[in-house]
Structure formats: structure tokens, C-alpha cells
Amino acid sequence: MSSSNTPLSLVALISGRGSNLGAIVHQCQQHRIPAQISTVISNNPDAPGLRIAQQAGIATRVIDHREYASRDEYDLALMKAIDETAPGLVVMAGFMRILSADFVRHYAGRLINIHPSLLPDLRGLNTHARALAAGNKQHGASVHFVTEDLDAGPLIIQAAVPVLKDDTPESLAQRVLKQEHRIYPLAIAWFAQGKLQIHGDQVLLDGKQQPEQGFGAAQKKAYSPQPLSS
């Protein structure tokens, strides 16, 4: 975490659209996050999010997974590129690759992800369609530290949205995405301000366990504090 006056240096990993990246860039530019994105790395050369970074004057790199023979080789190359910038935090913002255990261990406590469900519900892909198929009344998004278990690391913040009668996966995704753009910058701001501490499988905010965490029913009562202003 950053010392009081030096902004935290971030690397963001993306694969596609980059709307979360855009929200984070915006809040950094507004000085609501004491952090600076040094580099955006994409595994996909065509990721529209690369343009968002370039327009904001952020360095970009493409490390295309198709050019590597194995996951381990790819992850090593990715690690090398990230470590060249010596980031305080690595932010996965729609990075659609599973990372090897070595990679995750290397960044333990400084690698975070946003997942479009109220974890621990609906790990993995296609969460919006699965929320509808399961008849869930609530759905949402979670920001978490990344551990070796997919979508199972300590939760930093969640936001819930209602599932409406006529929802399609797309309409539900849109409602969830709005919340993602609210909670991801907030989680990064907390990290950059040194407010987060990992305590076992819990995250403490300002030394306190968030009451909404760890009760195993996130969908009933998700954590939704005040957003950063837009």
C-alpha cells in the first residue's frame, strides 16, 4: 500500500471492452483515488479498452496468449512485464484468463478482481444468465483479492441489484455493470489509502470486519456503502 504522499502505482489487466478500466481511470483523474495507472496490459490485441488507456495517456502493452506455448510461459511473460513497473497493486478489469498458482502467489495481497455476481454465489462464467435461470431475486458484483481458488478470495466490497421480472441476461448485466463502476474504484481507493487488511479469509476495512461479510448469504444483504462521486 502507498505511503501518504506517493500515489499508488497500478497495473491494470484487461481483455475486452474496458468499461471498468474507464471508471477507474476517471476516478484517478479526479484525484478520488490516490493512485496512478502506470500500464494497461491486454492479452487481446483488439481489446477496445486499450484505446481508453491510450486516450488517457496511459502506456499500453499487448501480451498475446496465443504466442505462448503454455499457461506457465504466458504467466511468466506477464509477470515480467508487470514487475518492470513495480506496481503496488495489480487490478484485473475484465481479464478473461485463469492465472497460474505461481502467478497468484507472486502477487498475494496486491492482486484484485471484479466478478459479476454476489460471491460466493455464481463463480465462473455466464453469471447473469445463471442468476436468471436459478430464479435469484438479487444479483450483483463483488470485488475480491485473488487467491488460487477461482473467484473465491477474500471479499472487499459487494453491491446488489434486484432481478426484475422481464430481465434478460443483457439487461441484468447492464444494471450490475453500473454497480461495478461504483464499487471497483472505491475498493481501489481503500487499498491506496491503506485501509484494507487481509485477515485470514476476511478483509478488514479500517481494522474492522465488515459486518456484511462472511455470513454466507451475500445475496440477502450485500455491502453497498456510499460511492465516490462521479
Instruction: For the CB of residue 225, give the shortest distance to ligand GRF in the complex, in Å.
Output: 19
C-alpha cell at 98: 485463469
Cβ proximity to ligand GRF: between 26 and 194 the closer is: 26
3 phi/psi in degrees, rounded to 5? -80, 170
Alpha-helix residue ranges (DSSP H) falling in 108-204: 127-133, 169-192
Q: Does 115 participate in catalysis according to the annotation? A: yes
Residue 140's CB is within 10 A of a number of other CB atoms, namely 31
Candidates 63, 114, 160, 186: give the one binding ligand GRF (CB under 6 A): 114
Residue 114's CB is within 10 A of a number of other CB atoms, namely 24
With b for 16 or more beta-carbon neighbours within 10 A and e for fewer, the 153-189 pattern comes to bbbbbbbbbebeeebeeeebbebbbebbbbbbbbbbb
Q: Which stretch binds ligand GRF (CB under 6 A): 10-18, 35-43, 159-167, 204-212?
A: 10-18
Q: Is 144 in the site for ligand GRF (CB under 6 A)?
A: no
Q: What radius of gyration, in Å, describes the C-alpha atoms of the chain?
A: 17
Candidates 8, 10, 19, 192: give the one binding ligand GRF (CB under 6 A): 19
Q: Which stretch binds ligand GRF (CB under 6 A): 108-116, 143-151, 163-171, 188-196?
A: 108-116
Candidates 8, 10, 18, 163: give the one binding ligand GRF (CB under 6 A): 18
- Closest C-alpha to 197, from 216, 183, 210, 181: 210
Q: Is 110 in the site for ligand GRF (CB under 6 A)?
A: no
Q: Is 20 in the site for ligand GRF (CB under 6 A)?
A: yes
Burial of 229 (0-12, 13-18, 19+ CB in 10 A): exposed
Q: Is 185 in the site for ligand GRF (CB under 6 A)?
A: no
Q: Is 100 in the site for ligand GRF (CB under 6 A)?
A: no
Burial of 53 (0-12, 13-18, 19+ CB in 10 A): buried
Cβ proximity to ligand GRF: between 16 and 154 the closer is: 16
Q: Is 34 in the site for ligand GRF (CB under 6 A)?
A: no
106 phi/psi in degrees, rounded to 5? -60, -35
Candidates 16, 87, 154, 185: give the one binding ligand GRF (CB under 6 A): 16
Cβ proximity to ligand GRF: between 176 and 192 the closer is: 176
- Residues near ligand GRF (CB under 6 A) are 16-21, 49, 93-94, 114-116, 141, 177, 180
**Catalytic residue IDs:** 115
